[in-house]
Amino acid sequence: MYDVYKIRQDFPILQKLIEGKPNVYLDSAASAQKPKAVINKMNNVLKNSYANVHRGTYALSDNITDEYEKARIIVQKFLNARSAQEIVFTRNATEAINLVAYSWAMENLHPGDEILISEAEHHANLIPWQIVCQKKGCALRVFKIGDDGAYLPHEFTKSLSEKVKLVAVTAMSNVLGTIFPIKDIAAKAHKIGAKVLIDACQAAVHQKIDVQDIDCDFLAFSGHKTYGPTGIGVLYGKLELLKSMPPYQTGGDMVDKVTYQYTTYAEPPSRFEAGTPAIVEAIGLGTALRYMQKLGLENIALHEQELVKYMYEKCQEIKDFKHIGSLPNKGGVFSFQVGNIHPQDLAYVLGKEGVAIRIGHHCAEPLVERMGYNSVARASFGLYTTKEDIDAFVAAVAKAQKFFR
């Protein structure tokens, strides 16, 4: 049974009072809080077993190398990848997407080719492709979504020409909560010979991901959103593609042989992990993913579906509350506007009530403007969010309305 109140005891920061009030943390889409399992594991490694990985010929190095590579296997199983070689550790999902842009797209795209993205993309899945197109003479195509944030299959199909060589889409919008049918998107893209990259930063938190079932070519997500530390991300890539790609960065630990005249490179994933890696962070990520798996991704998803339904119900009590992205079946991300209250003013009052939300364009400025706004407020859920958190949010919004009346 999924006991959210028991789960909350695993997160020390949620016991902390904010402005003298209970901590209502509704900013998990930006970065999730960390359970004791992750905090304790990372502290223990730093205190008792830290050393550099690989090549060390002493016990500390051997042991931590084993833990580091076990973390890679945990990620492999989390994504159901065929091989641990398909799992590349990066600093974050942004670096993972840039890796594909520079090591695959720059090498394989030509003038006249097209890259296709949706209107709902985060800057990290937009700007790298703008740069590729500028440098390679390609065209960036953007397929439309609905005014309610819905994925429109006919708009995607209409935009999927034979010129498209890469489809790069989010699995779940960080602004709208829209869940994209990435398996269907991948199948249609592959029919015309395009490769597929999935930005799974939000989806990895809320639903089970199976890269073999999706049949994507690349997939990226960040550790800090999946209840792990910052400074660690993941790129999944099909092994045959990774083997065909040159290094993204060069230096130590990504080489096979080096002379003054030439260098040969290691096999993936080492080829893409130049320098000393984020050792403790990778181990922390592995611990976080195991924590999620122990709770059950299906259970987390069901809990979130209940919260989404409850949020819609409770927000009906708020006068002049406008949902930005109003699909009934979506992830736990709610962007909104309340009357004429500026999001910054609203967030300030909510913050004084211990309610943490985020404002701005959420690193998706073109999307926010397409929805008709310059800045929006956003509340987002984690596996520890309760209905009481939503009640506190609604009460705080009502207080803000009175304040700005």
For residue 353, give the CATH number of its domain: 3.90.1150.10
Q: What are phi and psi of 238, to 5 degrees?
A: -60, 135
Considering the domain architecture, whether residues 181 and 330 belong to the same structural domain is answered as no
Q: What is the predicted pLDDT for the residue at 305?
A: 97
Which one of 294, 321, 337 terminates a domain?
294
- Number of helical (H) and strand (E) elements in the chain, helices listed first: 16, 15
Q: What is the predicted pLDDT for the residue at 369?
A: 97
Q: Which of 155, 208, 159, 222 is nearest to 179 (CA)?
A: 208
Q: What is the predicted pLDDT for the residue at 111?
A: 98
Read off the pTM. 0.97
Considering the domain architecture, whether residues 132 and 19 belong to the same structural domain is answered as no
**CB within 8 Å of 340: residues ≥ 6 apart:** none
Look at residue 63 and tell me if it is in a domain.
yes
Residue 188 and residue 219 in contact, taking contact as beta carbons nearer than 8 Å: no
Look at residue 313 and tell me if it is in a domain.
yes
Q: Nearest 5 degrees, angle CA 214-CA 205-CA 313?
A: 110
For residues 143, 145, 150, 154, the Cα torsion angle rounded to the nearest 10 degrees is -50
Which one of 228, 260, 294 terminates a domain?
294
Look at residue 35 and tell me if it is in a domain.
no
Look at residue 71 and tell me if it is in a domain.
yes
Considering the domain architecture, whether residues 231 and 367 belong to the same structural domain is answered as no
Tokens of 377: 């407020």
Which residues are catalytically annotated?
Answer: 363
Look at residue 26 and tell me if it is in a domain.
yes
Considering the domain architecture, whether residues 235 and 381 belong to the same structural domain is answered as no
Domain boundaries, position 386: 4-30+296-403
Tokens of 239: 């092994």
Q: What is the predicted pLDDT for the residue at 69?
A: 98
Residue 220 and residue 235 in contact, taking contact as beta carbons nearer than 8 Å: yes
Considering the domain architecture, whether residues 17 and 87 belong to the same structural domain is answered as no
Q: For residue 339, count other CB atoms closer than 10 A to its CB.
A: 14
Considering the domain architecture, whether residues 253 and 285 belong to the same structural domain is answered as yes
Considering the domain architecture, whether residues 371 and 398 belong to the same structural domain is answered as yes
Q: What is the predicted pLDDT for the residue at 80?
A: 98
Considering the domain architecture, whether residues 177 and 304 belong to the same structural domain is answered as no
What is the number of structural domains in the chain?
Answer: 2
Look at residue 257 and tell me if it is in a domain.
yes
Which one of 276, 294, 312 terminates a domain?
294
Considering the domain architecture, whether residues 26 and 161 belong to the same structural domain is answered as no
Tokens of 363: 């690193």
Residue 237 and residue 131 in contact, taking contact as beta carbons nearer than 8 Å: no
Considering the domain architecture, whether residues 383 and 301 belong to the same structural domain is answered as yes
Q: What is the predicted pLDDT for the residue at 249?
A: 96
Q: What is the predicted pLDDT for the residue at 73?
A: 98
Question: Per-10-residue mean pLDDT for the chain, 405 residues long?
Answer: 96 97 98 98 98 94 97 98 98 98 98 98 98 98 98 98 98 98 98 98 95 98 98 98 97 94 96 97 98 97 97 96 96 97 97 98 98 97 98 97 89
Q: What is the predicted pLDDT for the residue at 55?
A: 85
Query: Alpha helix (H) ranges present in 172-296?
Result: 182-191, 203-206, 211-214, 239-244, 279-295
